Amino acid sequence: MKKKKDALKVLVVDDSKVVTRVLVNYLAGMGINHPFLAATGNQAIELFKSERPDIVLLDVQLPDIDGFDVSKAIRKLEVKGEWTAIIFLTSMANDEDLVRGIEAGGDDYLTKPVAQAVFHAKVRAMQRLIEMQRQLVQAKRKLDLANTKLKRISTTDALTGIANRRAFDEFSELEWRRCMRKGKPMALVMLDIDYFKLFNDKYGHQAGDDCLKMVAAKIAKATPRATDLCVRFGGEEFMLVLSETDLDGALCMAERVRQMVADLKIPHYATASKHVAVSCGVVSVLPSEELSLEALVKSADVALYMAKRGGRDRVVAGEYGKV
């Protein structure tokens, strides 16, 4: 038969078998039938590491190290969001010991010999605090998940599912500074679907939305590195952020994307190939304090304009600062 799991995990630390037996019986009266037992401070610390009890009933005087040092060790072992109730067991109850116990991380005291009614009251009080702490941790986790979801929504384009302009602003600034620190180049590829307004007028807005989704999926597939980002920059315009990438590397990436979009074979009467195509403007620069990300974006825009003026469905290399 499967053993019922205790609601609380309790560690009893006392070198007296008589005291330990009394405390175990007290706990059983509260429905806590399987406490962990330690007779020394070092045993207590090892049990804490392996079992992570909710409550530690800790004798002050132990054969190896005293309970104050055990309490300090437990507090150091606790991880963020974790709290263990520590109740000292002692035959001493002077102010000095109380202060020392609190400073060592203790939460309460029980004076030996321990009365059952007092024991039950103090353990129940700690149980209420533990439940409150668990609820707070659970609430924080839910809040963190909600914030993560909200962050993801706020930086994702609703139609295509790729990053949006806000994500570009945040990511590109971080990568600009990172490349500056590392002395590595950073490249941008600005893409635009050729004659997209004519596509919408001819095939309808639903077909236009489907086209944007398919193109976005291809572009995103071409940028698998964590240091790259594919963005819907606005309307039918996209941007690739390519960290640690020189101009030659960025040109290769842009040509790959251009070909991937062409391979979709989405019909478009207004293009020379009679299929949806993209124009790409490419720039790369070694970030420095004298240069700016804003100027790099403008340079990519100019390169894209040159690609369109040059006949569309092509990749054109731009030059930083050329407007």
Q: Give the chain's length.
A: 323
Max CA distance (Å), the chain: 95
To which residue do tokens 């149980």 refer?
127
Residue (of 83, 66, 43) closest to 12 by Cα position: 43
236 in catalytic set = yes
To which residue do tokens 């309808």 refer?
204
The token pair that represents 168 in the structure block? 């570009």
Give, in order, the Cα–Cα distances in Å from 270 to each of 98, 229, 265.
85, 30, 14
Does residue 250 sit in helix, strand or coil?
helix
User: Which ranges of the chain does DSSP label H, i.e. alpha helix?
Assistant: 17-28, 41-51, 67-77, 95-103, 116-154, 165-182, 196-203, 205-221, 247-263, 293-309
Residue (of 207, 206, 198, 233) closest to 219 by Cα position: 233
d(CA 48, CA 78): 9
d(CA 154, CA 160): 14
Q: How far is CA 157 from the centre of its chain?
A: 20
d(CA 276, CA 293): 30
Q: Of the listed 103, 236, 237, 319, which one is catalytic?
A: 236
Q: Which residues does the annotation mark as catalytic? A: 236
